Amino acid sequence: MMTRNSAPQLIDKAVIDVGSNSVRLVIFRTNATFFQPIFNEKVSASLGRGVMDTRLLNPKGVSATRTAMVRFMKIIKARGISSVYAVATAAVRDAEDGTDFLAKIEAETGLQVKMLSGAEEARLSALGVIAGEPTANGLMADLGGSSLELVRLADGKPGVGITHKLGPLAMGIDRRFDLKTIKKEATRILENSFEFDQENPPKTLYAVGGAWRSLALVHIELKGYPLHILHNYRLSYREAKVLTKLVERQSPDSLTKVLGISARRAATLPYAALLLGRLLKLTKVREVVISSFGLREGLLYDDLPPEQASRHPVLASVEALAHQNWSSPEFGRAVEEWLAPVFDHIKPVFGKTRTKLLQTAVCQLADIGARMHPDHRAEIAFDLVLFAPFAGLTHAERTALALVVFHRCAGPVVPPRISLLMRLVDEDIRSWATTIGLGLRCASAVSGRTKILLEQTRLSIKDDVLTLDAHDEQSALLTTTPGRRLQDLADAMSLQSQLTG
C-alpha cells in the first residue's frame, strides 16, 4: 500500500479457483484495491459434468484437475509467492466425493483448498463486484458452470446471498437444450427464490461470469462498439433484452461460424442468454453492467485490512501504474496542488466529487510517458492508460484519462482514433481532458518534473489572465518553453497568459 510519502508496495498474490467448468490459477500484482492479473492459466477440466446425475465428480475432470494443481503449485513456488488463496465451488460442494477429492489435492500439493458454501461463494462474488465498483447498487448475478449466485448490493455493501443450481452443467445443457422446458424450469426456480422491496427495486444488474462476458462480446461486435474492454461495459434494458432474444435462438454452430464464439462456449451461450432474459423480466432493471471482477477478486478484497479495503480502486490503480512506469508520487501530488486554480476554473464534467477523484488520479500519471521514445510517447501513453487494468472507471472516464496523458505528451494536437473518442466522450469532456493535459505539460516544463522546483512557482487566474509566477531566485525557470506551454494552457481556457518573476 502507498502512504502519503512513499511509493506503493506491489505484492504478488495467487488465487486458485476450482470451478465446475475449469480450474484456474491467476496471479495478481496488488496494491490495496488494485488487482492486476499478471499470470492467468486455465484447464478446462469439466469437473462438474454429470454431478447432478451421479453425485460424483467427473473422473476425467478429477484427473485433469489434480495434474493442474501440481503444476500450479510448482509455478507459485518458483515465483516465490507466499500469499495463496484456493477455493472450490459448486461442483465440489455438491459431489459426494468432493471432500475426498480435496484431501487428495492436499496430500499431493500441500495446499488446503477451501470448499465454499453457496452463501460464501455468493458473498465473495459480490465483494469482487464491490472491489471493482465501490458504489455498486443493484443486483449481482454470477453464473458459473453449476450454479447461479444472486446478491443484492446497496451502497457498496453486499446483502444476503442465495445460490441456485442453475448453471449449464446442473441444468444438463451438455446433454439437451429443450428451450421451452428449460425456460419454464428456470423461471419457476427464480420466481420462487427472491423478492424485492417494491419501493426500492434494483436498477442495475451486475453480471459476473464468463458466459455473460461472452454475451457482452457478441453485443460489442454487433454494435461496432469502439472499445473492447468488458469491465463496466453497459447495456440498457432494451439492448440486453434484444441481445438475449437473439442469442437464445441461435444454434451453437451459428454462434461459432458467424460470431466467432468458441465451440465450447457456444454450446452453453444460448442458455446463458435465456437465463439473463429471465432475470431481466423478473427484476425490470434499467441496465446490465458487466463486471470482470468476481469471486477471485472478492477473495483478495475480503482479506484486506480496513485501511487498504477503503482505498478507492481508481487511486490504487493509478499509483501502481505510475510506479511501474517510474513516475514520482511526490511530483504527482505537487502537480495537483499547483493546478488547483485551473481545476477551480473549469467545468466539473463528471460532477464535483467524481471530477475531483479523476483529477487526483490523473495527476499521478503526469510523468507516465516521459521515458518513452519521443516520437511515440503520446500514443503509447494513451494506449497504456486506455487499456490499463483499472477498476472503478466508466468507459467515458477511462477514455478521458487517456486523452489527458495524450495531451500531456503531445500538446494541443488532434488525438488518435478521433472517431472512437467521439462515441465515448462528448465535447465538454474532450475540452476538460485537453485542458488538464496541457496543465500537466506546463507543470512538467516549468519544473523539470521535480516537486521542489514546481513548489517555487505558482499559478493564478485573475481578470481572465492566467499568470505563472516564480520566486525571485527561481525566475530563471521561466524560459521560452514554459512560456509556450503556459500559452497553450491559457488558449485552451480562453484566457490570456502572463509570466512574472
Q: What are the angstrom distances between the C-alpha of 70 and each of 63, 77, 110, 115, 451?
A: 11, 11, 10, 18, 49
- pLDDT score, position 260: 73
Band of the pLDDT at 176, cuts 50, 70, 90?
Answer: low
Instruction: Give the whole-angstrom CA distance, residue 468 versus residue 478.
Output: 8
* Cβ pair 141, 86 in contact under 8 A: no
CATH of 11-116, one of 3.40.50.1950, 3.30.420.40, 3.90.550.10, 3.40.50.2030: 3.30.420.40
Mean pLDDT value across the chain: 92
Express as a percent the part of the chain with pLDDT over 70: 96
Backbone φ and ψ for 126, nearest 5 degrees, come out as -65, -40
For cell 441461435, the residue is: 250
- pLDDT score, position 371: 82
Instruction: Give the whole-angstrom CA distance, residue 28 versus residue 296.
Output: 10
Contacts for 335-340 with beta carbons within 8 Å, 24 or more apart? 335/363, 335/366, 335/439, 335/440, 335/443, 335/454, 336/360, 336/363, 338/443, 338/454, 338/455, 338/457, 338/458, 338/459, 339/363, 339/436, 339/439, 339/440, 339/443, 339/459, 340/459
Instruction: Give the whole-angstrom CA distance, residue 169 versus residue 171.
Output: 5
- Nearest CA to 14 among 93, 64, 78? 78
Domain residue limits, the chain: 11-116, 119-296, 312-500
- pLDDT score, position 254: 87
pLDDT in tens, 374-418: 999 999 999 999 999 999 999 999 999 999 999 999 999 988 777
By CB atoms closer than 10 A (0-12, 13-18, 19+), residue 174 is middle
Cell numbers at 345, concatenated: 476554473
SS3 237: helix
**DSSP element (H, E) containing 357:** helix 352-363
pLDDT in tens, 447-476: 999 999 999 999 999 999 999 999 777 788
Cell numbers at 12, concatenated: 504478488
**Residue type at 268 in one-letter notation:** T
Say yes or no to pLDDT of 159 above 50.
Answer: yes
CA 129 to chain centre: 9
- Nearest CA to 336 among 311, 307, 358? 358
pLDDT in tens, 47-84: 999 998 999 999 999 999 999 999 999 999 999 999 99
Q: What is the mean pLDDT of residues 416-422?
A: 76
**Sheet of 34-43, strands arranged across:** 34-43, 23-31, 11-18, 83-88, 114-115
Cell numbers at 55, concatenated: 453425485
Say yes or no to pLDDT of 2 above 60.
Answer: no
**Residue type at 479 in one-letter notation:** T
- pLDDT score, position 1: 47
pLDDT in tens, 224-270: 999 999 999 999 999 999 999 999 999 888 888 877 788 888 888 99
- pLDDT score, position 173: 75
**DSSP element (H, E) containing 287:** strand 287-290
Band of the pLDDT at 325, cuts 50, 70, 90?
Answer: confident
* Cβ pair 290, 210 in contact under 8 A: no
Backbone φ and ψ for 360, nearest 5 degrees, come out as -60, -45
Establish whether domains 119-296 and 312-500 are of one fold. no
Cell numbers at 278, concatenated: 429471465
- Nearest CA to 366 among 252, 442, 473? 442
- Domain 312-500 sits in CATH 3.40.1010.20: no
**DSSP element (H, E) containing 30:** strand 23-31
DSSP letters spanning 79-103 = TT--EEEEEE-HHHHHSTTHHHHHH
3-state secondary structure 300-344: HHHCCCHHHHCCCHHHHHHHHHHHHCCCCHHHHHHHHHHCHHHHH
- Rounded to the nearest 5 degrees, what angle is found at the Cα of 365, between the Cα atoms of 332 and 381? 155
Express as a percent the part of the chain with pLDDT over 90: 77
The least confident of 113-122, 169-178, 316-325 is 169-178
For cell 524560459, the residue is: 479
- pLDDT score, position 177: 58
* Cβ pair 148, 167 in contact under 8 A: yes
Strand partners, 25: 16, 41
Instruction: Give the whole-angstrom CA distance, residue 209 versus residue 8.
Output: 30
Instruction: Give the whole-angstrom CA distance, residue 269 versus residue 278.
Output: 14
For cell 444460448, the residue is: 270
- pLDDT score, position 58: 97
CATH of 119-296, one of 2.160.10.10, 3.30.420.150, 3.40.50.620, 3.30.590.10: 3.30.420.150
